[in-house]
Structure 1
Amino acid sequence: MALWAVAHLGSPVHGLRALRRTTGGRRGSAGLTGQDANGVPLRRSKRGWMWNQFFLLEEYTGTDMQYVGKLHSDSDRGDGSVKYVLTGEGAGSLFKIDENSGDIHATKRLDREEKAYYILHAKAVNRVTNVALEGQSEFVIKIHDINDNEPRFTRDPYVARVPEMSDIGTSVIQVTATDADDSTYGNSARVVYSILEGQPYFSVDPETGLIKTALPGMDREVKENYQVVIQAKDMAGQNGGLSGTATVNIALSDVNDNPPRFTKTLYDFRVPESIELGSAVGLIRAVDADIGENAEMDYRIIGSDGPGMFDVTTNRSTQEGVVVLRKPLDFEKKRQYSLRIQVENAHANSRFFSAGPFRDEATVKVTVEDVDEPPVFERASYVMEVKEDTARNTAIGSVSASDPDDKNSLVRYSIDRRTDMDRMFNVHAGNGSVFLLRELDREENAWHNISVIATEFSKCSAGVAALLDVNDNAPAFATGYETFVCENAKANQRIQTVSATDPDTPLGGHRFFFSLAQEAAGKANFSVRDNKDNTAWILTRRNSYNSLQKSVYHVPVVISDGEYPMQSSTNTLTVRVCTCDREGNMKLCNAEALTARAGLSTGALVAILLCVVILLSEYGDVRKKEEECALYSKICEDVRDNVVSYNDEGGGEEDTQAFDIGTLRNPEAIEESKQRRDIVPEAFYPAAVRRPAPPPIRDHNGDVRDFINQRLQDNDGDPTAPPYDSLATYAYEGSGSAAESLSSLESATTEGEQDYNYLSEWGPRFKKLADMYGGDDGDSDS
C-alpha cells in the first residue's frame, strides 16, 4: 500500500506532477526497454517517486486559499473510508487538508523572509476504526521567493576622504547593499551598483560597489567637498527590479601642491641705531594656499650686504618671518642694509616639488636712523700727577670728549660733585682743562678720584631754535563718527567710511593702519577693512540685526601710525540699529538716532513745544473775545474783520475810504510807512505831543463824539501802545449820515422819526466794551 501526492509547484514550467512514496522499497513490474550490445534484452524496473517536498509561492494575493498539493493513498478506493490527517508546523492554522480528498491549501499569505520552509507529517487512517492504513510520513513545504525586497545599504551616509590631485582610478570607499530575497533562486537578490550623482568626478564598480576617482587633477583649493549618490538595484539591474540609494560625502584631503608666495617683493623697515640686540626689526609674510603642515614655511637669508648683522626666524603660530638684529647698528658707519630672504615649505612634497620652484624670494631694506648719542671721551680714564704745593687755579691736565654723531655738537665739561664733595677741583667748560680750587696735602689724601661729565649742546643763531617733531601723539578719528545699520542688512555690507588725524607731522606724510580691537574680535558684529589710503570701511559681519534685542553697538577701532615709536589709540564708533526700506533708506529708528539725524537738539525740541503751547493759548484768548463780542452783534458784526491796524478815523457808513476790507484779506497791503508799535520812536514822538484836533463838525451828540475823538487821539499818539492789534469800535457815523448821530439804525427816513433815546440803552454797553478792550487804559485801538 502506498501514499501518493500531487503537488502544485506554482510555476507554469513545472505544471502538475504525481509523486509516490513507496513503502518497503516496493517496485512495480518490469518492462522491455531494448537490447544491450550483445543483443540481450534490457529491462527497466519501475521505481517509486519521492513526494516529500512541496513548493509554494510567497506573498500570494489571491482571494481564494492557495493550493499546495494533494495526498492520495493506494488504499483509498473512493468510497469515503479513508481519512487524511496532517500534522506538523503550521498544520491546522497555516495549512489545512481536506480529510476526504487529501487536498492541502495555505490559509494565509506567507513571507519567505520570515520562514523559508515548513516540515509537516501526513498519514491515512480508516475513518471508522481510526486505524492507520499507512505509517506517518514527513514532507516539506518550501516557500518559493519572489522579488519583494529592495536592496538596503549598510550605512547612509558614507563619509570618505581622498587626497587631492589623485590619479584616475584611485580607490575612495566601498559601499555595500544587501537584499533580503533568496540569493539561491533567480536574480531577486543579485544587486548591481550605479552612480546617480557625482559624475564626472567619481565612478563605482557595478559588482563590488567600490567608488574610485574618475577625473584627474581634482584641486582642494578649487573645490573641497563632493556629494555622490549611489544606487543599488536588484534583478541584476534589469527593468522592474527594486532599488535603494545611499549618499557618500567625499572630501579632498590637502597635499602640498602650492608654493609659498611673499605678499610683497620689497619690504622697507626703519630702525634707530640704538635698538637692542635680539630685537625684531620687522615682520615679513608669505602666504600658502595649502593648509596644516603643508602650509608651514621656513625663512632664511640668502644674501646680505651686512653679513651676520641680521637673522630671520619663523613664527610658527602665524607663519611670519621675523627679522632679528644680531650685531649693533651704527648710523655713522652704515645707514642702510639690503637683505635677500627666501621662503620655502617646511614639508616639501617631492612629487610636486620637482615640477617647479616651491620657494619665493623678497628683498628687505633696513634703514638705520640716527640717535643723539652722548659724547665719548678719548680715554676711559685719565691719570694726572700734581705736586702738593701747586698753587690754586693751576691747570693740572685736561680731558677731551667728542660727539660721535655727524652733527659734531660742541661738548661742555663739568665736575661730578658727588665725587668731589670738598670742591678741590674744577674743569674748564669749554676745553676740558682741569685745575685746582684749593691747595692739596699729600699726607692728608694721596689720591683723588673725580669724575668729569661731558655733555653736548647746540649753538643757536639770533636766539631762534628749530623744534623738531617727535612722534608723541596717537592718531584718532577725524570726527566723532555715528552711523546706523539697517535691520535687514546683509553680511559684508559697508555702513561707514572712517578716516583719522594726527597732530604730528612726519616727513613722509601720515600712514595710518586701522583694525578692530583685539578684545572685540571674537564676538564682533562688525569688521574693519583697511583701505590702505588712510581710510577704512566699517562692514557688517552677519545678516540682519534686531533693534529690540540691541539698539546700539559700539565698535572699537584701533588706529596706529607708521612712525617710530609707533603710537596707537582705540576709538569707538557708535552704530544704531534702524528700520530701513529695501533700498537701505532709514525709515524708523530710536529717539536718539532720530534727533541726531534731524540735527535738532533737546533744547530746540523744547522751544518748538513751548511755541505750540503759546499759539494754542493765544487762540483761546481770541476765541474768548469773539464770544464776548457776539453778545453785541449789532455793533460788532464781525470781530475778525475788525482785528486790523490802521491810522484813520471812521467816517461813518457812507465813508468808504476810511475802511478797506481788502486790507483784512491781504495783510501785505498795509502801508509799510506805518511805525511799529513795539519800538518807541523818540525822535518822532516827543513828550506830550498830540495830533491836531479834527475840524469842527456839527454839534450833535457832542459828548459822545468828543469822547471817541479824544480816545482816538490818545491811542494814536501813545508811543507805549502794544505791538499787537486790538479791537476798538467807532460809533460816530460821519457827516454824511442822515441821522448825524451815533445810531447805526436806518429804520427811519426822516430826522423827526429818528429815535435818539437809544443812547440810554447802548451807552453803558459802549462804555463796557471800551473798558474791556482798552478804552480807559490808553491802549491803541485799531
Structure 2
Amino acid sequence: MGLLRGPLASLLLLLQTQVCWLPSLASEPYLADFGEAEVTLEVGGTDLEPSQALGKVALTGCTGHEMHGAAHGEVTVLNSGTVQANDNAPEFEPQKYEAWVPENTVGHDVQSLTVTDLDAPNSPAWRATYQIVGGDDGDHFTITTHPETNQGILTTKKGLDFEAQNQHTLYIEVTNEAPFVVKLPTATATIVVHVEDVNEAPVFVPPSKVIEAQEGISIGELVCVYTAQDPDKEDQKISYHILRDPAGWLAMDPDSGQVMAAGILDRENERFVKNNIYEVMVLATDNGSPPTTGTGTLLLTLTDVNDHGPLPEPRQITICNQSPVPQVLNITDKDLSPNSSPFQAQLTHDSDIYWAAEVSEKGDTVALSLKKFLKQDTYDLHLSLSDHGNREQLTMIRAKVCDCHGHVVTCPDPWKGGFILPILGAVLALLTLLLALLLLVRKKRKVKEPLLLPEDDTRDNVFYYGEEGGGEEDQVGHWRVRRRHGCSPARDGSVWATQ
C-alpha cells in the first residue's frame, strides 16, 4: 500500500512491470489498492514506503502490461508520506530596475532582484535560479542566488568602460531549482545599468618599450621618446617623470616624454645591466581631480663599443731562476666580439731584457718565461695586451723569482745562517776593540814614575834646614831650588830638594 497526500499534478506509480497514469486528484487523502502486490512510489529518486490505508480509490487503465502514459517532471517530498509538485512559477517584484556603477570596478554589487513564489519555502520548487538572457554581449556581469533571501545578486565580472559604453540594458530570467511539472510562463526582469565616469590613469603605449642604445653615448644625447595616452575624453595635461633608474643614467623631459642620457651608459656594469638590458620605470601623471598616475617600463638593450682593454689573470707569478717553467695567464675582455679576442702581447719598459711573452694559438692566454738568470727576489713586469679592435691595456705583473729548478709553487726559505754571520762579526769586532783598550791602559801604568824616591836616596840627596838657620836670602834660594826640581815645602817650613 502507498499513502499519498495532495495536491498532486501527476504521478508515476510503478507496480512490477506496469506503468500507470494517475490523473490529478483532490487534496483529500486517498488509498491506492493494488491487491496482493507491494506498492512503492518512486518520487524524485526517493522511495516512499507503504503506509496505513485511509480509503479506497479505483484505478483505471492499469490492466495487463499495457502502457497508457507517463508523467513528465518531478515531484517533491515535503515530509514523510507527503509529496509536493513544482506547479508555481516565481515572479519578479518589481520587474524593472535602474542602477549606477563606477567604471573599472570588478566585483561591484550592481542590484538585488526580488521574486515571489507560492511553492513551499526553502524547497527546490521555491529556490530561485537566475540567468542573464540578454544585454551582456561583453560578458561583463554575473548573477547568483542569495542562499537566505532567495534574491538575485547582480555583480560586475569585468570593469566597465565609460568611454566605450556608458549604459547597459540587461534582461534577467528566473526559474526554480526543480523543473516545472507543467508548462508555465517564465518571468523576466529588466535592469538599466548606468556607467559612471571616473578619472582614469594615463596608459603608456606600449606598456613595456624595448629600444637599442649604444653604451658610452654623450650626456644629454637623446635616447628615445616614451609617451602615454589618457583614456578620459577630457583634454588633460600629462607630465612625465622617472620612477626608478638604478644607475642614474637617464633623464626625462616632463612635457615631451623625451628620454636623454644623464650619465655614461655602461653595458659591462654587471650590477645594473642584466643580459645587456638596462631596465627603467617611468611615470605619467594627469592633472585630473584627483590626479592619477600610470607606469611604463623602458628596456634599454645596450650595444657594445670597444671601451675595455684585455686584462691578464692572475697578476702574480712565481718562477724558478734555473730551468724555469713558463707561467700561463688567462686573458679576459669585458667587450663582445669583434672587440675581444684574439689578443696580442708585448713586454715594455725593458721588461723584455729578462722576460718573454707569447700568446697561444687561440689567442686567449699568454705565457711568461724567464730568459736570463735572476737572483731570488721580486720583480715587476710591464705587460701590454691589445684586443682585436686594437684597444691596448698595460698591466703590471708581480713576479717572484726563486732559487730553484723547474716548477715551483712558493719560493723555498733562505738559509738562516746568513743572518747570524753579520751578528757574530759585529760581536767579534766589539770584543777586539775592548781588548785593545785594556792593553793600552795596562802599558801606560807600567811607564809612569813613582812620586816618592826610595828612603836611602832621600837621605843622600836632601838637605834639612831648621827654622833658625839661614836668613831670608837662604830661604829664597831654597824656594828656587824647590821650584826648579819640583819639590814641595814641608809642614814645619823646611824644604825638600833634590840635587
Q: What band does the TM-score fall into relative to the shorter chain? A: 0.3 to 0.5
Give the TM-score normalised by structure 2.
Answer: 0.39
* Higher-RCO chain (CA-CA 8 Å, sequence separation at least 6): 2
TM-score by length of 1: 0.26
Q: Which has a greater percent of strand? A: 2
